[in-house]
Amino acid sequence: MKPTMVNLGYSLSCEEHAPADLVRYARRTEAAGFAYASISDHFHPWIDRQGQSAFVWTVLGAIAGATEHLQIGTGVTCPTTRCHPALIAQAAATVAAMMPGRFYLGVGTGENLNEHIVVGVGRPMMSGPKCWKRPFR
């Protein structure tokens, strides 16, 4: 058996840093030799003092243009409550085309703490097949 190698990565936190800073941190991550980075995808910060939460797909596009070798992916994005799964697929395919072989898509169920603002105001929680079928009718 071959020995298992450890890959170290860096976490880019959209809810803690401005978009231009995230791009700069991604360049530094690549220059420091990290194997990969993950970038958070939340609509709202965890706590108020964090102050912001950049749109991850725009930041990923900028990172694609600013790096050459860094592997990066969402950690994680929720393709059910905030955005239609087809939009997430299109965004992910676009980023993957901009950084061939370097992008991975991490998906999850979402976090009410960060997503309740979009879902809870004026519209019911949308999830699962009912949500996915609605726009295709």
Annotated active-site residue 115? The verdict is no
Q: How far apart are CA 125 and CA 82, in angstroms?
A: 9
Q: Is 116 left (phi over 0), alpha (psi -120 to 50) or beta?
A: alpha
- Whether residue 116 lies in the annotated active site: no
- Pull the structure tokens for residue 72: 């990066």
Kindly give, in sequence order, each residue whose CB lies less than 8 Å from that of residue 95, ignoring residues fewer than 6 positions away.
57, 60, 61, 64, 103
Catalytic residue among 15, 30, 42, 115: 42
Catalytic choice (16, 111, 115, 116)? 111
Hey, which residues are catalytic here?
42, 111
